[in-house]
Amino acid sequence: MDYKYKTNKEKDMKKGLITFISLFFITCCAYAESKIPIKILRIVDGDTIEAQINRNKFSVRLVGIDCYETCRIHRAYRQAYENNLSIDEVIKKGNESKHFLQKLYEQNKNNKVYLDFHGIDRYGRALGIIYFNKLNVNEMLENEGGCMVYEYKS
């Protein structure tokens, strides 16, 4: 009887230890860097790029920012209305943001490009923050590239 008690106690201690170790690693992983190396294939507009990992191509929507559109689509007309701009001003601002991102990419072409992945949106695009080495591209676009702060709702 005493032997079973020790065995159950040992089992409980092992379960506790396994639980502790699991929680420790889960916590560590939650705070770990989630930056994935990517290759930029094309800059679509100020807040969207096409990227590649190995042979897999996908779109990335930069989180936390919203840039003006670069062509006359419904959203561009809505941006014009909401910001009291003409459609031509919206498209001009959109192209300026796109060119800012292209220039930033050209200046950092020799640096590694990383995606800090934040999920997938309802259109199937990856959501994330782009880094050129340690340079946060999303912040640069917000501060200097003519993009607005935007809380993305998937």
Q: Are 75 and 127 contained in the same domain?
A: yes
Q: Are 27 and 55 contained in the same domain?
A: no
Q: Are 8 and 25 contained in the same domain?
A: yes
Return the axis-axis angle of helices 74-82 and 87-107, rounded to nearest 10°: 110
Two tokens, residue 56: 């897999």
Tens of pLDDT, residue by residue over 37-78, are 999 999 999 999 999 999 999 999 999 999 999 999 999 999
Which pTM value belongs to this model? 0.74
pLDDT classification of 23: cutoffs 50, 70, 90:
very low
Q: Which domain holds residue 130?
A: 35-149
Quick one: DSSP state of residue 57?
E
Is 36 strand, coil or helix? Answer: strand
CATH number of the domain enclosing 107: 2.40.50.90
Q: Are 18 and 63 contained in the same domain?
A: no
Q: Are 13 and 28 contained in the same domain?
A: yes
- Whether 5 maps to a domain, the answer reads yes
- Whether 99 maps to a domain, the answer reads yes
- Whether 130 maps to a domain, the answer reads yes
104 close to 62: Cβ distance less than 8 angstroms: no
Q: Are 65 and 102 contained in the same domain?
A: yes
Q: Are 65 and 141 contained in the same domain?
A: yes
Q: Are 43 and 64 contained in the same domain?
A: yes
List, in order, residues 6 or more apart from 72 with CB less than 8 Å away: 87, 91
Q: Are 81 and 122 contained in the same domain?
A: yes
The number of domains in the chain is 2
Tens of pLDDT, residue by residue over 94-146, are 999 999 999 999 999 889 999 999 999 998 999 999 999 999 999 999 998 88
Region of residue 29 (phi > 0: left; psi between -120 and 50: alpha; otherwise: beta): alpha
